[in-house]
Structure 1
C-alpha cells in the first residue's frame, strides 16, 4: 500500500494546568505537560505542521497526530493532570479527523485517576472515536462530572495497524458550557439558489439557532441573519455558481448566545439548464463549465481528465480535439463526473445520449455506471445497466431519463480496473419526441412495439443484434433473451416500467418499456 504525506513537520503549543485550550501551535514538540506513551513501533503521537500543505489544521497551523504503522499501535497521547472541579474543569472537548476514507483511523479516550502511565488508564470515556474520513474535523465533547474532586489524566489511545493518520486539535478543558457552539456542521442539497445546512443540536433544552451568511469573505455583521428552532435550515441564495460562507451560534435563552462556529463554505451550482438539446463534447483541457467532479467513498482522489487519446492510443475522440476519460493505475478507484442541473420537467421523452469506449489491458476492463437524482438532496440512483465489458471501438449509448424534475442531476461514475480508461464523448440530453424525421431515422436503429405491452414485444432492426436484456429502471438485470429474437415475451412481468437494452453494431440503446 502506497501512502504519501505531503506535509512538513514543525511547531507546537502551550499550557498544562487544570484548565486549558491546547491547539499545538507553539512548538514542533509536544507542549509542556503532555506526553506520548509509545507501546508499538517508532511511530507515535507527534506534531504535524500544515503550512503549504493541501489540507489544514482545525485552527492555526498544527495538530497532534499519529501515523500509520505496519505493526499495531499501542500508544497514548496523555494530557496534563486535570483536577476536576465543578464549574471550572468538569468538561473536555476536542476536534478530531481521520484523513483517508480508504484507511479509516479510530481511537478511544481513556481516563487514569492515578498516574500518567499506560497500565493506569483503566476507565473508558469513549470506546470509539471514529470521525467520517476526509479533510473535515469533528467535535467530540464529554462531561467529567463523575470525576469531580479527583485528579485525572486523559489518554487518547490508538491501537490501529497500517491505516493512515488521525489528527487532534483544540483540546479544551474547562467548565461545562452554558451554551455550546454548534458542531458537526454539514451542507447538503446545494442548488443554484439554495442550500440545506444541519448541525448537532445543543445540549441545552429549548435552544434555538442563529445563522449569518453571505458571499465568501463577507464581514460578520454585514451578512443575512436568520433563525431556526431546529438544528437545520435552508439558505436562500441569490446568485448561481457563487461561493458562500456562513456561521452558526446557539441561543440558550437566559444563559445567552454561544460563540459563533468556525466559518463554513460551499458554492452554489450553476443555473438550471432548460433549453434542449444540451450538448457537451469536452473540447477544452479542463472540466467543462458547471460540471463537477464528485468523490466516491473509498474511491480515492483521482478525477476525470480530458485527453486526446486513451491509455494505448487505440481510441481518439469521437469529436476532436478531446474526450473525457477516467483512468488510474489503482484498481478500485472511482469518481463521478456530474453534469450541470437540468429542468427536464417539460420534456415529453427525455433521454441521455453519449458515446462510450473502454479498451481492456490484459483482460482488465474499466467500468462505467450512470446515475441520476431527481432532486439535489436525493441519493444517487443508478439508471440503466452497468457497462463492464470491453468496447474496443466507439459505441453510441442512449438511456431514457426517469422521474422528470426541475432540478435534475446526471453523473457518469468511472471505476478503474487499471485498464486503458473509460472514455466518453458527445454527451447530450434531448427530447426524442421533438426530433425531426431525419433525426429520428438516425436515432432509432431499433424499434420496439407495441409499447405499452401486455405479453409480446416485437424488436425491429436491420442491424446485427449482439444482445437483448431487460432491466429494472435502476439497473437490475431481470432477463436475458436470445440475440436473434424478433419477439420477446414479457407476460410474466408485473405491471410497471422497465428498460429494454438492445446492443447492436456500434449502438447500445435502452428503451423505456411499459408493461400493462
Structure 2
C-alpha cells in the first residue's frame, strides 16, 4: 500500500477542481508548460517509465525523477505559471519518493514571482523535502495563500551529490480544501484482538474523526464505524491472524466531512502462546507460523531466511534440516525476526534459549542482539548481551526474560557485516521454575550460582572452564567483567537490586538473574 505523508496544513482536493494535475503519463518528455533547468552535472530532471520494472509510479507508469551523479546537481523542475487565487489555486500537493535508504535523496521547493529561470527562484516554500527512503511514496501539501494575487512558478530543486533517485508524481494545484483528509496514518500496537491507529490532526478547530474498518476487501458502507474526538483510535474486538483494512475521514462540522483517506491495512497477530515449553527448530524453508519480520529503520529491507548451511558450509543446522540465518551482501543491514506473541505471565522463571553460530569472513563478523517488549506499544529493549565475537561452532545461549506479561514479544536482531551469516537454531521459551529467594540457582548443565541473594562474593560452581563473566543492569549496562577462569565475583560495591549475570564457558553462554542484597 502507498504511504501518505501530509507536511502542511491541508490535504488533496477533488481533482476536478484542480487548476492543473500532472502525473507525467502523456510521454517520456517533460510535459508542455513545464521546464527542466540543468545548471549542474549532466543529469537533470527526466520522465521515467516503470513498465515491467520491480517498482512502480504512484499512479500510472511514469514519474518525474532526478538520478545520481558524482558531480553536484543544480537542477530545477519548474511548474507552469500559477496565478494564485483564493479558493481556486491557493494549494499545492504532490507525492515524492527517495528510493535508496543508503543514499537518501532530498530536494527543496523554491518560488519565483517573475520568470521560470534559475536566478529568479529567490523564495523558499520548503527547505527540505525528505521522504523516508524506499519504494513507497509520501504526500506533501502546501498552502500558497501567501502569494494570492501573484503569478508564481514553483521549482522542485535538487542540489545533491552522488546519492540515488528522487521521484515525484501526481502534482496538483487547486483550491485549498474545506476539510482536510487525515494523513500520516500510522498503525502500531497491533495485538491478536486490537490495533492502535493515529494520524495528523486536522487544521480545522474542533474537528473530529470517523473510522470505518473491516476484513481486507470489505465494501465501504458495510464496515464497522468508530468515532474519535482526537487523532487516535483503538480498533477493538478483532479476530486473531486476520488481515484488516480501514479508512479515516475528518468531520469539520459546518464544513462537513472530508473524503475518506486511502485504504490502510494491517494484520492482527496470532493469539499469544500460553503452553510451555515452546520450541521452534526452523524445519521448513519459509518463516514459521506466527513468526514475523520487522525492518530496522534505515538498515535495508533484507529478512531472515531458512537454510541448510551457512555462507561457507562450515555450520550445519543444530537440528536438521534447517536453521534461521541473517546474511546479506550489504554491510550494515539489520532485521528483526519476531517470535510469536507469548503469554508468560504465569511462568515462575521464564527463559529464552537458543543456539548461535556466526563465522567470520576475513575478520568481519555478523552480529546478534535480543530484544523484548512487555507490551506491543512499548519500545524494544535489549536483553542479554550483544553477540559480536565469532562462534565457529554452536553456542548454547540462555537468557532470563524480565517484566513478564500476557502479550510478550521477543525479537532476534541480526546485523550484517558481510560475513558468513548469523545462524540461530533450536529457539525455545521455558520455565526453569527456579526461584530467586533461595541460596543457589541450579541449571540443567550443572552450573550453580550461590548465594542468591548475594551480599559480598558470588560463587560459580561448574566443572567447565569459564572464559568470561559479565554482570549487567536490567537496562543492559555492563557493570562488571572478568575474562579469566575465575569462579568468584566480588559484588560488594554494587547497589542493591536485580542484575543479569552472564557466564560464558565451553559451548555455553548462560545468563542468570541475581539479587544484590
TM bracket (short chain) = over 0.9
1:130 deviates by: 1.5
Residues 235 and 59 (structure 1), Cα distance of their counterparts in 2 relative to 1, 3 Å cut: farther
Correspondence for 1:34: 34
Correspondence for 1:70: 70
Correspondence for 2:506: 505
1:50 deviates by: 3.7
What residue ranges of structure 2 are gaps of 5+ in the alignment?
1-14, 436-440
1:124 deviates by: 0.5
Contact kept, 8 Å, 2:367 with 2:422, in 1: the verdict is yes
Are 2:479 and 1:478 aligned?
yes
State how 1:194-233 maps to structure 2 within 5 Å.
194-233=194-233
1:100 deviates by: 2.2
Q: RMSD of the TM alignment (CA)?
A: 1.9
Correspondence for 2:130: 130
Correspondence for 2:283: 283
Once the two structures are superposed, what CA deviation does each residue of 1:272-294 show, in whole Å capped at 9, x if it has no partner? 11111110000001111111121
Correspondence for 2:461: 460
State how 1:33-52 maps to structure 2 within 5 Å.
33-52=33-52
1:106 deviates by: 1.2
Q: Distance in 2 between matches of 1:193 and 1:79?
A: 48
Are 2:319 and 1:319 aligned?
yes
Once the two structures are superposed, what CA deviation does each residue of 1:421-477 show, in whole Å capped at 9, x if it has no partner? 111100000011189xxxx98724321111122222111111111111111223322
Q: Distance in 2 between matches of 1:185 and 1:249?
A: 11
Q: Distance in 2 between matches of 1:329 and 1:351?
A: 33
Deviates more, 1:382-391 or 1:93-102: 93-102
Contact kept, 8 Å, 1:207 with 1:229, in 2: the verdict is yes
1:482 deviates by: 4.9
Q: Distance in 2 between matches of 1:127 and 1:336?
A: 34
Correspondence for 2:305: 305
Q: Distance in 1 between matches of 2:225 and 2:290?
A: 28
Correspondence for 2:5: none
Q: Distance in 2 between matches of 1:47 and 1:213?
A: 37
Correspondence for 1:492: 493
State how 1:234-249 maps to structure 2 within 5 Å.
234-249=234-249
1:505 deviates by: 0.9
Aligned to 1:183, what secondary structure does the other structure show?
coil
Are 2:335 and 1:335 aligned?
yes
Correspondence for 1:350: 350
Aligned to 1:200, what secondary structure does the other structure show?
coil
Correspondence for 2:116: 116
Q: Distance in 1 between matches of 2:36 and 2:77?
A: 5
Correspondence for 1:99: 99
What residue ranges of structure 1 are gaps of 5+ in the alignment?
1-14
Are 2:74 and 1:86 aligned?
no
Residues 223 and 25 (structure 1), Cα distance of their counterparts in 2 relative to 1, 3 Å cut: farther
Contact kept, 8 Å, 1:18 with 1:82, in 2: the verdict is no
Once the two structures are superposed, what CA deviation does each residue of 1:122-173 show, in whole Å capped at 9, x if it has no partner? 1111111122223333222222122111110001111111222222222221
Residues 60 and 222 (structure 1), Cα distance of their counterparts in 2 relative to 1, 3 Å cut: farther
Correspondence for 1:6: none
Q: Distance in 2 between matches of 1:57 and 1:454?
A: 65
Contact kept, 8 Å, 1:295 with 1:334, in 2: the verdict is yes
Contact kept, 8 Å, 1:472 with 1:498, in 2: the verdict is yes
Residues 210 and 60 (structure 1), Cα distance of their counterparts in 2 relative to 1, 3 Å cut: farther
Correspondence for 1:427: 427
TM-score (norm 1): 0.92
Aligned to 2:192, what secondary structure does the other structure show?
coil
Deviates more, 1:487-496 or 1:127-136: 127-136
Q: Distance in 2 between matches of 1:311 and 1:361?
A: 9
1:238 deviates by: 2.3
Q: Distance in 2 between matches of 1:55 and 1:246?
A: 24
Once the two structures are superposed, what CA deviation does each residue of 1:69-120 show, in whole Å capped at 9, x if it has no partner? 2211111111111011112111112222222222221111110011111111
Contact kept, 8 Å, 1:385 with 1:476, in 2: the verdict is no
1:481 deviates by: 2.1
Correspondence for 1:445: 446
Aligned to 1:184, what secondary structure does the other structure show?
coil
Contact kept, 8 Å, 1:384 with 1:474, in 2: the verdict is no
Q: Distance in 2 between matches of 1:201 and 1:51?
A: 37
Aligned to 1:257, what secondary structure does the other structure show?
coil
Contact kept, 8 Å, 2:366 with 2:415, in 1: the verdict is yes
Contact kept, 8 Å, 1:445 with 1:463, in 2: the verdict is no
Contact kept, 8 Å, 1:18 with 1:84, in 2: the verdict is no
1:221 deviates by: 0.8
Q: Distance in 2 between matches of 1:273 and 1:515?
A: 33
Q: Distance in 2 between matches of 1:385 and 1:192?
A: 30
How many residue pairs get aligned? The number is 497
Contact kept, 8 Å, 2:238 with 2:268, in 1: the verdict is no
1:378 deviates by: 1.4
TM-score (norm 2): 0.92
